[in-house]
Amino acid sequence: MQENISWCKSCLAMSTRNRITFDDRGFCNACRWKEQKESMDWTQREAELINLLDKHRKNDGRFDCMVPCSGGKDGSYVAYNLKHKYGMNPLCLTVTPPLSLSLGDENLRAFIESGYNHISVNPDYETMRVLNRIGFEIMGFPYYGWLTAIQSTPVRMASQLDIGLIFYGEDGEVEYGGTDETHHDAIFDVDYMKKIYLEGGYDAVLDASGLAEKDLFFFRFPANHVTKRAPIDITHWSYFENWDPYRNYLVAKTHCGLKEADNSNLGTFTNFSQNDQALYALHAYLMYLKYGFGRATQDASIEIRRGAMDRLQAVNLVNLYDGQFPEEHIEQYLNYYQMSRKEFDGILDKWVNQTLFEKKDGYWKPLFRVV
């Protein structure tokens, strides 16, 4: 079976990742992008950024851009630069996550208190729960409802508040290995969000819920993705500068009050990201069961590409940390989804790639070892 899968010869990106490609050296597209970034003219990209900002700059006290954020390192970094480096007036927006963690709540409060206008959107609890459960069942995505809302709600609120520019953090497809549709185009649209970030399941999950339209207000994209003047420009900050998650963490820690966890996060060796909700650990575990790589693989690959770790160190860490079952949260998950342990395990089993795993003593064990 090992011969049917492979890993990037530079980082640890796995051949099972959606939309990943490899060159004749065995380098994945994320590592090829890393190489391209080293010789890119970032001054040209910054000039594009300034033109985009000037297009939307209002200079009259109104908000001229929106930053979806959780109080974590990346949204904080983007908002900090927009406000303090480029003189913009950003409105930050959080869709409250399900099963939020106290550290995430504390970091969000610290971010707001460091000097940002911010709104929290709290969609109906039961609607969010139902959509998350359906997404877990039919998409293998345990917070699909929340994922939908963090795409649709900023578009809806920007349209209503006449804000024509939305900044997300990194373009995961470009930075971590995926489609190259946005390599040379800063702006993407709602159709791209549905296809890539919502994995083509947007209509299926909402339709399967049977919920009334009034309940789905924050989960539906508005019919017209426009302000009073023009279509909304949706973009990633990573298009305009060399993206570095660790640098973002340091800036957010220094200027926005970000705190890391006391210990490494479940399933990885890092402690400074994805500290806002308990369901992320389940998402990472499902990713591991579906594709054979989890949170440690992703973190280690980032560290390799930024030159902070060699490949052998990364392999050892991945073999030590990846694929940990989130046992500490299991009762919380069962109560939230309103299901038995048998039902829960049955959904996990449904999404397992059984060419990669076998079940032993009630848990799925890999048939491969990272090399």
What confidence tens digit (pLDDT) does each residue in 191-209 have?
999 999 999 999 999 999 9
Nearest Cα residue to 168 out of 233, 113, 100: 233
Statement to judge: residues 31 and 49 lie in one domain: no
Question: Which of 190, 210, 245 finishes a domain?
Answer: 245
**DSSP state string for 222-252:** PSS-B-SSSBPEEEEGGGTS---HHHHHHHH
**For position 224, what pLDDT does the model report?**
67
How many folded domains does the chain comprise?
2
pTM for the model = 0.93
Whether 32 and 20 have beta carbons less than 8 Å apart is answered as no
**For position 179, what pLDDT does the model report?**
83
Question: Which of 245, 272, 299 finishes a domain?
Answer: 245
**For position 271, what pLDDT does the model report?**
81
Whether 66 and 83 have beta carbons less than 8 Å apart is answered as no
Alpha-carbon dihedral sign for residues 265, 270, 271, 275:
negative
Question: Which stretches of the chain drop beneath a pLDDT of 70?
Answer: 1-3, 224-230
Task: Report yes or no on 229 lying in a domain.
Answer: yes
Statement to judge: residues 219 and 358 lie in one domain: no
> Counting beta carbons within 10 angstroms of the beta carbon of residue 331, is it exposed (0 to 12), middle (13 to 18) or buried (19 or more)?
exposed
Distance CA 254, CA 244 (A): 16
Distance CA 327, CA 121 (A): 30
Question: Which of 217, 245, 273 finishes a domain?
Answer: 245
Statement to judge: residues 141 and 200 lie in one domain: yes
Task: Report yes or no on 172 lying in a domain.
Answer: yes
Retrieve residue 332's tokens: 């919380």
Task: Report yes or no on 223 lying in a domain.
Answer: yes
Distance CA 283, CA 158 (A): 28
Whether 323 and 288 have beta carbons less than 8 Å apart is answered as yes
CATH number at residue 211: 3.40.50
Task: Report yes or no on 175 lying in a domain.
Answer: yes
Distance CA 27, CA 97 (A): 35
Q: How many CB atoms lie within 10 A of CB 273?
A: 22
Task: Report yes or no on 265 lying in a domain.
Answer: yes
**Phi/psi zone of residue 323: left (φ > 0), alpha (ψ -120 to 50 degrees), beta?**
left
**DSSP state string for 252-289:** HHHHS-----SSPPTTSS--SSS-SBTHHHHHHHHHHH
Buried b (16+ CB within 10 A) or exposed e, 77-99: bbbbbbbeeeebbbbbbbbbbbb
Range of the domain at 30: 2-38+260-366
Whether 147 and 198 have beta carbons less than 8 Å apart is answered as yes
